Structure 1
Amino acid sequence: MQSPKIMVMGVGNILLSDEGLGVRFLDVFAKDKLPDNVELLEGGTAGLELVHLILDVDFLIIIDAFNANAEPGALFRFHPGDLQVIPEQYEVSFHQIGIVEVLTLANVLGHAPQTLIFGIQPKSLEWGLEISADIEALFPRLKELVLKEIDSIRYEGKFTAT
């Protein structure tokens, strides 16, 4: 049986400090030896052009800044379908084209991967290339969570149940 193709995508604008945490997380995550069926993608602030990159992916794990008006560093784990029930006052993403639109188009084109999103409440959205120390301190825990999901996919064929 062929291993499912797993993609870990970091998104965000690296020019706005913590808004780029998804991309900065990948820099740390890429230092580890990952299974051959795991691909990393810096999505940056790309929008619909990401669609063709995920069409052959079975499982997609997205890391992004998530504005839930929570304490900086609050970590959220959810599926794209959960976004439809989040109250309007929460800006789910800071990007022009959200991942929901990308996944919807992928579905129309024939294949949207099973998707899980890890969102982190940013501390700072000021101009700057550095991630806040408080946010960067979460990366080891986030790495554990992402690796747990990868293991669950590899051995159980699905995301962890939580």
Structure 2
Amino acid sequence: MQSPKIMVMGVGNILLSDEGLGVRFLDELAKNTFPDNVELLEGGTAGLELVHLIQDVDFLIIVDALNANAEPGALFRFQPGDLQIIPEQYEVSFHQIGIVEVLTMANVLGHAPQTLIFGIQPKSLEWGLEISPEIEALFPRLCELVIKEINSVQHEGKFAST
């Protein structure tokens, strides 16, 4: 049996401090060793050009900043279908990136991966390359969570049940 293709994508703008946490997180995650069927990708602020990158992916895990007016460092785990339940006042940064549109377009073109999103409440969205210490302190825990999801997909063919 062939292993499912798994991609972990960090998205965000690294010029706006915590907005770039998804991209910065990949550096931490990359310290681990993964099998060949797991790919780490910096999505940055790319839009629809991401579609072709996810076309042959079976499982996609996205890490991004999510402004939910929560405590800095609050962690949210959800799937794109859950977006309808997120109240309107939440600013989901991947609306700018259009990750939902990317997944929709991938579906139209034949295949959208099963997708799981880890959103983290940023502390600062000011200009700057530094991640807030409170956010960076979360990275080891987030690594554990992402690795748990990868292992679940590898062994059970699906994301871990919450």
TM-score by length of 2: 0.98
Partner of 1:159: 159
Q: Report the residue type matching 1:159 in the other structure.
A: F
Partner of 2:141: 141
- Alpha-carbon deviations, 1:42-97, whole Å to 9, x = none? 00000111000000000000000001110000000000000122111111115523
Partner of 2:7: 7
Q: Matched residues in 2 for 1:82 and 1:41: separation?
A: 23
Partner of 1:62: 62
Partner of 1:23: 23
Q: Matched residues in 2 for 1:122 and 1:4: separation?
A: 32
Tell me which stretches of 4 or more aligned residues in structure 1 moved more than 3 Å: none
SS in 2 for 1:134: helix
Runs of at least 5 residues in structure 1 that lack an aligned partner in the other structure: none
TM-score by length of 1: 0.98
CA contact (8 A) 1:45 1:95 kept: no
Q: Matched residues in 2 for 1:124 and 1:95: separation?
A: 18
Partner of 2:84: 84
Partner of 1:71: 71
Q: Matched residues in 2 for 1:95 and 1:83: separation?
A: 11
5 Å matches for 1:39-118?
Answer: 39-93=39-93, 96-118=96-118
SS in 2 for 1:101: helix
Q: Report the residue type matching 2:101 in the other structure.
A: E
Runs of at least 5 residues in structure 2 that lack an aligned partner in the other structure: none
Q: Matched residues in 2 for 1:50 and 1:94: separation?
A: 13
Taking only the aligned residue pairs, the percentage that are identical comes to: 87
CA contact (8 A) 2:25 2:139 kept: yes
Whether 2:87 is the aligned partner of 1:120: answer no
- Over the residues paired in the alignment, what is the CA RMSD in angstroms? 0.9
SS in 1 for 2:71: coil
Q: How many residues align?
A: 162
Q: Matched residues in 1 for 2:154 and 2:138: separation?
A: 25
